[in-house]
Structure 1
Amino acid sequence: MKHQIREATISDVETIRQLANEIWWDCYAPILEPEQITYMLAEIYSTAKLTEQIKNGTQIYLLLVAEAQPVAFAAFAVREENKEIYKLHKLYCLPAMQGRGFGKALLNAVMQRVKAAGKSILELNVNKYNKAKAVYEKAGFNVIYEEDIPIGPYFMNDFVMRKEL
């Protein structure tokens, strides 16, 4: 299926919110309580937060469009505490579109942009129970440590993974 990847703009905020809402329930319902998913979607994907991130460039969002329909997105940024490392904050694809190489295409686009910025390390967090961990391992990422991240009254129990580009 033909696709294109483009940088998201403020006009894409609602599209990203809709994609996240559909994807997160499928992705996280097996491992998180519904209250936690609801809270995190509201916290991470608020219109104000996404707009600010895109407007200020604190995260770069990429949108993958296939057959004129947005089906996946990614977000990444340089790490504030270590400017030599980039972090992949988000990489999600609609459940019906998984297995078609869209996630891999987005990941490759992120890695190309990191290299173009003159950097060679990409990190990400993945929930310890998320099946996406295997996808990242296949792409060459390795677990470097574990961390529990508080988000409001909840915790994300994550592996931090890294790849040298």
Structure 2
Amino acid sequence: MQNSINLKNATVEDIPLIQSIAEQTWRPTYGHILTEEQTLFMLDMMYSSESLTRQFETNTFIFAYEGESPLGFAGFEPKDDEVMKLHKLYMLPAAQGKGIGKLLIQEVAKYAKQQGLKFVHLNVNRNNKAIGFYEKQGFKIIKEEDINIGNDYWMNDYVMQLDV
């Protein structure tokens, strides 16, 4: 399937599409980990139009398309002189398992390398089955991190690292 996939940089005009993909992917991804209340809180915190507009000031967003159909996206930014932080990687449920996430990770790693960075980091919930996917892409767990995101909600994550 990867041969027919096109990657396209997103702009602020694409915020509704980012929101739509997030809305379609969050519950299948986190429904067994988060309460509905926390899901709604986090979707608003990370995917409101205001939040995404701010993110576009420092983050790059890339969509994966098959023809005219969007399949998923990645959002990332350089954090320092060594690390590209992959903040978001979401595929529509029907597009999962088809190599699109791998393709987007490769693109993020390419951006990192072009900027002279050494690593791609990401946070993943310690109960998320995506850990195995990331390990297959070459990421390694480097530490645990518990982040208070407000409203008495916590993100209990692994930080994973990919050498580029």
Give CA deviations for 1:74-96 in whole Å, capped at 9, x if unaligned. Answer: 011111xx332111101010011
CA RMSD of aligned residues (A): 0.9
Task: Name the TM-score, length of structure 2 as normaliser.
Answer: 0.95
Segments of structure 2 that go 5 or more residues without pairing to the other structure are none
Residue 144 of structure 2 is matched in structure 1 by 146
1:46 corresponds to 2:44: no
**C-alpha separation in 1, matches of 2:65 and 2:139:** 25
Residue 48 of structure 1, CA deviation? 1.1
State the secondary structure of the residue aligned to 2:159: strand
Residue 34 of structure 2 is matched in structure 1 by 32
Residue 142 of structure 1, CA deviation? 0.7
Residue 61 of structure 2 is matched in structure 1 by 61
1:7 alignment partner, one of 2, 6, 9? 9
Residue 117 of structure 1 is matched in structure 2 by 115
Letter in 1 for 2:109: M
How much identity, in percent, do the aligned residues show?
Answer: 42
**C-alpha separation in 2, matches of 1:66 and 1:151:** 35
Give CA deviations for 1:95-148 in whole Å, capped at 9, x if unaligned. Answer: 111011110011111111110111121111000011110011111111111011
**C-alpha separation in 2, matches of 1:25 and 1:107:** 22
Give CA deviations for 1:51-83 in whole Å, capped at 9, x if unaligned. Answer: 2222x2x1111111112111100011111xx33
State the secondary structure of the residue aligned to 1:11: helix
Task: Name the TM-score, length of structure 1 as normaliser.
Answer: 0.94
Residue 159 of structure 2 is matched in structure 1 by 160
Q: Where does structure 1 differ by over 6 angstroms across 4 or more consecutive aligned residues?
A: none
**C-alpha separation in 2, matches of 1:131 and 1:159:** 12
State how many pairs are aligned.
Answer: 161
**C-alpha separation in 2, matches of 1:152 and 1:65:** 34
**C-alpha separation in 2, matches of 1:98 and 1:114:** 24
Residue 23 of structure 2 is matched in structure 1 by 21
Letter in 2 for 1:155: W
Letter in 1 for 2:20: Q
Residue 85 of structure 2 is matched in structure 1 by 87
